Chain A
Amino acid sequence: EAQVTQNPRYLITVTGKKLTVTCSQNMNHEYMSWYRQDPGLGLRQIYYSMNVEVTDKGDVPEGYKVSRKEKRNFPLILESPSPNQTSLYFCASSSDRSTNEKLFFGSGTQLSVL
């Protein structure tokens, strides 16, 4: 089954404790992206990657890192989480960045930073 898998589904942590949210897709997609969703703001892009070893900042990249060492994986790293990073996070992928390609989304990770 074609899917984007992200883990964990829920995560509670404390300020400053490094964490990684994993994301993997099994569709051989070139394009992958991370979004955060906050009430009243919709979804906003954090980082994206157009292919292996090619990553770039989205609209709200501060406080986050990503890597793309393999085509299927695109982890999101919070090196020193802060309470304002409490949010619902989504990983997404598409075959490429074409305007007619839909994004496939993971199930989401609800992160709470205390």
Chain B
Amino acid sequence: AQKITQTQPGMFVQEKEAVTLDCTYDTSDQSYGLFWYKQPSSGEMIFLIYQGSYDEQNATEGRYSLNFQKARKSANLVISASQLGDSAMYFCAMRERGSQGNLIFGKGTKLSVKP
């Protein structure tokens, strides 16, 4: 079974609008961390935001926020006021206490921002 599921292979959003990228996860660990990374066409992996399993508040970093619903095991990324530079692949990932530090990735969502 997949540990990280991203059900949207590709998405389009109009510039200046908000967009939500879905991520669900599967773990039996009580302690885990959830991460989102951005991969532009140049290929590098850019860290965006982190949410800990014990964090009670949703994480926010500038235009990025993480909608964390622990009971549903979902960790959706919300990008507000989309910009053309947001066009990229976005990966959801999880680090479990029992995973020896492995960051387990989903298959990614390709976001395209339309002018």
Contact = CB atoms under 8 A, between A and B. Distances in A.
Given A45-B102, A99-B31, A105 B107 contact: no
B102 A100 contact: no
Nearest to B29: A99
A58 B102 contact: yes
B105 A94 contact: no
B101 A108 contact: no
Contact of B101 (A31, A41, A88, A104): A31
Interface residues of B, number: 26
Contacts of A44: 105
30 contacts: A33-B101, A33-B103, A35-B105, A40-B107, A42-B106, A43-B91, A44-B105, A45-B102, A48-B100, A48-B102, A92-B45, A92-B103, A98-B33, A98-B95, A98-B101, A99-B31, A99-B32, A99-B33, A99-B52, A99-B53, A99-B97, A100-B33, A101-B95, A103-B47, A103-B103, A105-B44, A105-B45, A107-B43, A108-B44, A110-B43
